[in-house]
């Protein structure tokens, strides 16, 4: 473990981490407020038959139950953007970005193996992602407490939601790291990682809105992030296993490719 590298990787992200944690916390606090304010109105709209129920759902979330609302908050594009800054941006900047800027060769001329470099960056990304997911979950908890609906929430299950969220984003982070170690430039690595994220999101939303395309959800990592099911005690261990596998495969790829690839002089 290189603590200097670990500390510096975190230090480079500290300002945006602080800002995004505060914003994520505030955004998540609003979700229970929206739930208490609009869930009755949404139910009336559904009962009126004006809109089918599916159109008032988003991904695996909805506004009919607190668990559904919290799920919606965690799968909302805003929440995804908050975490993606660190799950995708940081891995790309830490390796492909340094390679492109030319600082990677100064770093790797020190007694740091590429395996160790990878491990330290991966650990730093995991910490960053975990902190933002924690801010999202704690923000929701604070919102639930503020609007007085704590009786609708099983607090003991929140750590499972946190773990499920961290696992989801660790899977995206490990994919981004694999793209990062395989590329000489940040642009292609970022494009590939964002494409992977958007494709997963597209499959999840498409399947949730269109019955004929429901099968696409099985191929989305977002479909295995199920805060609603976890909060209602219906957790499926397979979701955790699939996310873990989606995290491990890119890690294995990176650990094989990174030490073996040639690092030619930066252009």
Partner 1 sequence: MQDALAAVIATRGLGKHYGSVQALVDLDLEVRPGEIFGFLGPNGAGKSTMIRILLGFLHPSAGSATVLGGDVERDSVEIRSRIGYLPGGIALYDSLSGRDALDYLSDLQGRPPSRREELCDRLEMPASVLRRRVRDYSRGMRQKMGVIQALQHDPELAILDEPTEGLDPLMQQGFYAIVGDLRAAGRTVFMSSHILSEVERVCDRVAIIRRGRLMALHRVEELLARRKRRIQLRWLGTAPDLSVVPGLVDVAVDGDRISGTLLGDVAPFVRAVASPSLLDLTIEPARLEEAFLEYYAEDAEEVP
Report the interface residues with partner 1, using CB under 8 A. 2, 4-5, 8, 12, 101-103, 105-113, 260, 262-266
Q: How far is the CB of 267 from partner 1 (least distance, A)?
A: 11
Find the shortest distance in angstroms from Cβ 2 to partner 1: 7
* CA distances from residue 35 to 4, 74, 144, 149 in whole angstroms, order as listed: 44, 14, 10, 10
Q: Which is nearer to partner 1, 3 or 211 (CB)?
A: 3
- Please identify, using beta-carbon distances, which residue of 191 and 266 lies nearer to partner 1: 266
Closest CB to partner 1 among 249 and 255? Answer: 255
Residue 108 CB, shortest distance to partner 1, in Å, is 7
Report how far residue 258's alpha carbon sits from residue 184's, in angstroms, rounded to the nearest whole number.
11
Residue with tokens 């979701």: 239
Pull the structure tokens for residue 92. 């790309």
CB of 18 to partner 1, least distance (A): 16
CB of 178 to partner 1, least distance (A): 20
SS3 of residue 61 by DSSP: strand
CB nearer to partner 1: pick between 47 and 109: 109
Q: What is the DSSP letter of 58?
A: B
**Number of other residues whose CB lies within 10 A of the CB of residue 195:** 11
CA distances in angstroms from 228 to 17, 27, 95, 232, listed in the order given: 27, 18, 36, 6
Phi, psi dihedrals of residue 111, rounded to the nearest 5°: -75, 65
Backbone dihedral angles phi then psi of residue 58, each to the nearest 5 degrees:
-145, 110
Q: Residue 6 or residue 253: which is nearer to partner 1 going by CB?
A: 6
Chain centre distance of CA 195: 14
Nearer to partner 1, 81 or 256 (CB): 256
Q: Report the nearest approach of partner 1 to the CB of residue 83 (Å).
A: 23
């Amino acid at each position: 473990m290189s603590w200097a590298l670990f500390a510096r990787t975190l230090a480079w992200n500290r300002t945006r981490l602080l800002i995004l944690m505060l914003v994520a916390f505030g955004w998540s606090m609003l979700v229970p407020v929206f739930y208490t304010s609009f869930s009755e109105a949404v139910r009336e709209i559904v009962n009126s038959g004006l809109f089918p129920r599916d159109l008032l759902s988003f991904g695996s979330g909805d506004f009919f139950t607190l668990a559904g609302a919290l799920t919606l908050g965690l799968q909302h594009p805003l929440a995804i953007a908050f975490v993606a800054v660190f799950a995708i941006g940081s891995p790309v900047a830490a390796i492909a970005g340094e390679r492109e800027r030319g600082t990677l060769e100064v770093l790797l001329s020190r007694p740091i193996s590429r395996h160790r470099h990878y491990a330290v960056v991966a650990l730093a990304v995991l910490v960053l992602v975990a902190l933002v997911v924690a801010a999202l979950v704690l923000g929701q908890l604070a919102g639930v407490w503020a609007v007085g609906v704590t009786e609708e929430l099983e607090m003991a299950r929140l750590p499972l939601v946190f773990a499920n969220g961290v696992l989801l984003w660790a899977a995206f982070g490990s994919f981004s790291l694999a793209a990062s170690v395989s590329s000489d430039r940040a642009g292609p690595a970022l494009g590939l990682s964002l494409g992977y994220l958007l494709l997963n999101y597209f499959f999840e939303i498409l399947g949730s809105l269109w019955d004929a395309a429901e099968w696409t959800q099985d191929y989305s990592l977002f479909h295995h992030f199920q805060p609603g099911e976890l909060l209602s005690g219906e957790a499926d261990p397979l979701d955790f296993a699939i996310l873990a596998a989606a995290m491990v495969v890119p890690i294995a790829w990176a650990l094989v490719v990174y030490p073996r690839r040639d690092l030619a002089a930066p252009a």
